[in-house]
């Protein structure tokens, strides 16, 4: 079952299905991954650190098509078989990776999501979609030992996250199948995001060159 984390320490239940918490098989060692095995099967990835993910030769790379992206991100995230949607998780051991900041263009997205959810009968506001600076500082102090990322205004707004067991994940991630529940309406920050594993292993398309697959590093 998923929960929404509030700055005052309250945790509200959402309607997400209860996740599978069966013990997974041991993850095989893989370059760049500091494996921390637990029942939620989420190794520490350091997905924004290029030093953890060496750049592969051009001949070893394939095009990061939509199908490849689906298979990788929802089947072998960062090369770990069975791992899904690592970028949608907030790992206490890799706190440099947070669910923000949303880009300036996403201000419209926030308003749009509020309206969409209200049409379904939910009484929601901006604070149910994102965490802003003042609230984030309180959350950072209460749950993340006042980590500098939470104390920096440039980290906001960040997408609100939910608590699943010992983990923090995007509130729009289905905790059972690890799929985005708003994929077609996800913010620009998510649409344009490429982790260092993808940058180092594939030829990708970018917003600047949407029709060209290129090596980013």
Domain boundaries along the sequence of the chain? 31-203
Confidence check: pLDDT of 74 > 60: yes
Which residue has better confidence, 201 or 14? 201
User: Quick one: pLDDT at residue 175?
Assistant: 84
User: Quick one: pLDDT at residue 6?
Assistant: 61
User: Quick one: pLDDT at residue 13?
Assistant: 42
Confidence check: pLDDT of 20 > 50: no
User: Quick one: pLDDT at residue 83?
Assistant: 87
Provide the percentage of residues in the chain whose pLDDT is more than 90: 59
What's this model's pTM, rounded to 2 decimal places? 0.79
Full DSSP string of the chain: --EEE-TTS-EEE-SPPPPP-PPPPPPPP-TT-B----TT---B--TT-GGGSPPPPGGG-EE--HHHHHHHHTTSGGG-TT---GGGEE-TTSTT--S-PPPTTHHHHHHHHHHHHHHTT----GGGTEE-HHHHHHHHHHHSTT-HHHH-GGG-SEE-EEEETTEEEETTB-TTT--BTTGGG--HHHHT---HHHHHHEEB--SSSTT--B---
Confidence check: pLDDT of 32 > 80: no
**36-66 pLDDT per residue, tens:** 444 455 778 899 999 999 999 999 999 999 9
């Amino acid at each position: 079952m998923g929960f929404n984390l509030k700055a005052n320490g309250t945790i509200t239940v959402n309607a997400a299905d209860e996740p599978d918490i069966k013990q997974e098989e041991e993850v095989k060692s893989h370059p760049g991954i500091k494996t921390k095995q637990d029942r939620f099967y989420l190794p520490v990835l350091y997905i924004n650190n290029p030093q953890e993910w060496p750049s592969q030769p051009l001949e070893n790379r394939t095009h990061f098509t939509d199908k490849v992206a689906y298979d990788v991100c929802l089947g072998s995230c960062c090369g770990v078989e069975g791992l899904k949607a690592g970028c949608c998780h907030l790992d206490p051991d890799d706190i440099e990776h947070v669910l923000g900041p949303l880009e300036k263009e996403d201000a419209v997205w926030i308003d749009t999501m509020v309206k969409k959810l209200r049409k379904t009968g939910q009484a929601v506001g901006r604070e149910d979609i994102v965490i802003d600076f003042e609230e984030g500082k309180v959350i950072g102090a209460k749950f993340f030992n006042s980590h500098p990322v939470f104390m920096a205004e440039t980290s906001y707004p960040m997408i609100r996250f939910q608590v699943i067991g010992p983990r923090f994940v995007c509130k729009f991630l289905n905790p059972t199948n690890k799929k985005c529940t708003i994929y077609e309406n996800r913010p620009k920050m998510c649409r344009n995001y490429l982790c260092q594993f993808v940058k180092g292993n594939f030829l990708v398309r970018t917003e600047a060159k949407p029709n060209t697959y290129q090596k980013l590093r």
